[in-house]
Amino acid sequence: MKYVSTRGTAPVLNFEQAMLSGLARDGGLYVPETIPTLSHAQIAALAGKSYEDIAFAVMRPFVGDTFTDDEFAAIIARAYAGFSHTARAPLVQLGPNHHLLELFHGPTLAFKDFAMQLIGQMFQHSLARQGTRVTIVGATSGDTGSAAIEAFRGLDAVDVFILFPKGRVSDVQRRQMTTPIEKNVHALALEGDFDDCQARLKDMFNDLEFRDSVRLAGVNSINWARVLAQVVYYFTAALSLGAPHRQISFTVPTGNFGDIYAGSIARQMGLPIERLVVATNQNDILHRALSTGAYVTDALHASISPSMDIQVSSNFERALFDASGRDPVAVCAMMQALRDQRGFTIAPEPLAVLRALYASGRVSEAETLATIRDIYDTTGELLCPHSAIGVKVAEDSLGREPMVTLATAHPAKFPTAVAQATGQHPPLPARMADLFDRTERMRDVPNDLSALQTLIRERIAL
């Protein structure tokens, strides 16, 4: 299996190289040269199997010869052993034709654990074999950072630096990043918003001298391996509801477009997905782009669903690449316009391709709170604000096929909004009940590339 860049000029890599590098050297994102497919019979044969077995069947063709079958099965087993639910991604019914896919039973209570725990195991295996070290730098709106730190804390071959927007993550998110005691963990509070964090991260990758000298590795959702891990639960959920013998739709609370893009890969692999519905908060660039064709950045608004407070959706580049017939020249032109003019208009043909697959909706703060309250009253289920945005958009777009809404975080990760809506204070699971008693350790950093590079060089030299 070979991986090519959406911008067409970076070297073609194998799975391991694409995983360890993250962003392509031409600024693009790696995608498989071709998407492997599973036949109707192969998908049907997965019904009733464990999460781990389905994960193996779905991901194996993408991994190539990076791992043997036995190694890969062991990696998967270790990755999901720390989840607190044996189904890993259980489904809960909300209404006659509406189901919630609970993706928050991992160690840091958000869906990011599905990919990050797997990547942690894969990195460890590869780096031990190669005898090398890497410096992982990640940008986070809250959940990626905590999941990455949890996955990489204490690993010998890795230093992990996480940039998060100062004052814009929830207390639980921040504490999950700042309380681990391992020396290889560095939580950095950046003066700016998430887009600033993501922009500085991209700058570091595009500074090839820096990138090579610190052996920079990226674990943001630009990393193909993360997208791949997320393809699995589209299969487990759809199989539980009768696929491949019927069509299933999914609604996905969306920020960086990684999670929903994984759904489009599942569909390309042969899973009968009818619609993928993008749910956004008031930071609605994706909803506007799909509605009008104009992908134009706007000011970022802080919301009660901070993990979706994003304007530049990195993984949308992969969707644009697919929709434009995998044309890197077209992608480069759009990304150039995004840099120079803050946006671009999607040409009619790719827009039609995108609209055939993706629907979208946008939810206000008041509607988010009302949905948390309503679902609690009618089902007893407490939703985090991100999941509530998904549920609201899904309810507005129910069709005849079963709808699955992805519940992306545990309500206890965002207790303020949940309490405001319902009067209930969702408790943290027992295994992290002492989170607020632990000592925090973090460093304030300016929104400045060279200051960040100096700090990283100093820390890894220690």
Ligand X SMILES: *Cc1c(COP(=O)(O)O)cnc(C)c1O
- Binding residues for ligand X, rule: CB under 6 A, are 110, 112, 143, 221, 253-259, 307-308, 386, 408-409
Residue (307 or 324) nearer to ligand X, CB = 307
Report, in Å, the least distance between residue 260 CB and ligand X.
6
Report, in Å, the least distance between residue 279 CB and ligand X.
9
Place of tokens 């998908």: 43
The token duo for 370 is 């009302």
Residue (236 or 315) nearer to ligand X, CB = 315
DSSP structure string for 52-98 = HHHHHHHHHHHHTTSS-HHHHHHHHHHHHTT-SSTTSS-EEEEETTE
User: Do the strands 158-165 and 403-407 form a parallel or antiparallel pair, or are they unpaired?
Assistant: unpaired
112 among known catalytic residues:
yes
Spatial CA neighbour of 144 closest among 259, 234, 27: 259
**Whole-angstrom Cα distance, residue 55 to residue 325?**
28
The token duo for 245 is 């013998």
Three-class SS of residue 114?
helix
**Whole-angstrom Cα distance, residue 358 to residue 146?**
29
Residue (24 or 308) nearer to ligand X, CB = 308
429 prior amide bond cis, ω within 30: no
Q: In DSSP terms, which residues pair with 190 in a beta bridge?
A: 165, 445
Identified catalytic residue from 112, 166, 202, 413: 112
**Whole-angstrom Cα distance, residue 459 to residue 105?**
33
32, 63 contact by CB (below 8 A): no
Residue (275 or 386) nearer to ligand X, CB = 386
**Please, what's the b/e burial string for 174-195 (b: 16 or more CB within 10 A of its CB; e: otherwise)?**
bbbbbbbeeebbbbbbbebbbb
Report, in Å, the least distance between residue 268 CB and ligand X.
18
Residue (236 or 254) nearer to ligand X, CB = 254
Q: In DSSP terms, which residues pair with 137 in a beta bridge?
A: 161
Strands (E), 175-272: 185-190, 216-217, 248-253
Residue (256 or 422) nearer to ligand X, CB = 256
Three-class SS of residue 100?
strand
Report, in Å, the least distance between residue 137 CB and ligand X.
17
Three-class SS of residue 349?
helix
Residue (143 or 159) nearer to ligand X, CB = 143
Report, in Å, the least distance between residue 70 CB and ligand X.
31
The answer for residues whose C-beta is within 8 angstroms of residue 56's C-beta and 6 or more apart is 72, 73, 76
Report, in Å, the least distance between residue 228 CB and ligand X.
13
Report, in Å, the least distance between residue 111 CB and ligand X.
6
The token duo for 438 is 């632990």
Report, in Å, the least distance between residue 315 CB and ligand X.
7
User: Do the strands 3-5 and 30-32 form a parallel or antiparallel pair, or are they unpaired?
Assistant: antiparallel
Residue (240 or 254) nearer to ligand X, CB = 254
Residues serving a catalytic function are: 112
